[in-house]
Amino acid sequence: MGFNRKFLFSIVLLVVAVPLMGNAFVWNVGDAAGWSGQAQFDYDNWAGRRTFLVGDDSLRLVYDPNTTNVMEVSYCDFKSCNPSSPLATYNTGNDTVPIPLF
C-alpha cells in the first residue's frame, strides 16, 4: 500500500527504566479509543500518566488497517517526519510492539 494513502501517527513516549523485571505488561495505547489518531484523544497525556518498563513492556496498537499503518522510526526520522526508512512497519490493525532497550 502506498504511503500517500496512509497516515503516519506518532507518539513520543517518556520511557522510564525501573529495576523491575519479569513484570511484562501489554499497554493498550489509547485504552478503549485505540490508536485512532483522532485529534480529540490526548496520547501525550495518556503516555505521561504511565510508567513503561523498557525492554519488558509492549505497546498494543489497535487501529483501522484500511486507513492507518504504524511505522517505527528512529528519533532523527521522527523529528524530521521522514517515513522513508522505517525500522519496522505494522499494518494488521492489531499489533503488539515491544519497547526495546536501546
Ligand X SMILES: *[C@@H]1O[C@H](CO)[C@@H](O)[C@H](O)[C@H]1NC(C)=O
List residues binding ligand X (CB under 6 A): 62, 64, 66, 94
CA distance 77 to 56: 24
User: Cβ closer to ligand X: 34 or 73?
Assistant: 34
Order across the sheet with 88-90: list the strands.
Answer: 7-8, 68-72, 88-90
Cell output for 18: 525501573
Place of cell 522510526: 73
User: Cβ closer to ligand X: 51 or 66?
Assistant: 66
Q: What is the smallest separation between the CB atom of 66 and ligand X, expressed in angstroms? A: 4
Q: What is the smallest separation between the CB atom of 34 and ligand X, expressed in angstroms? A: 7
User: Cβ closer to ligand X: 58 or 89?
Assistant: 58
Tell me the Cα Rg of the chain: 14
User: Cβ closer to ligand X: 7 or 82?
Assistant: 7
Q: What is the smallest separation between the CB atom of 6 and ligand X, expressed in angstroms? A: 13
Q: What is the smallest separation between the CB atom of 94 and ligand X, expressed in angstroms? A: 4
Helix ranges restricted to H, 17-64? 43-48
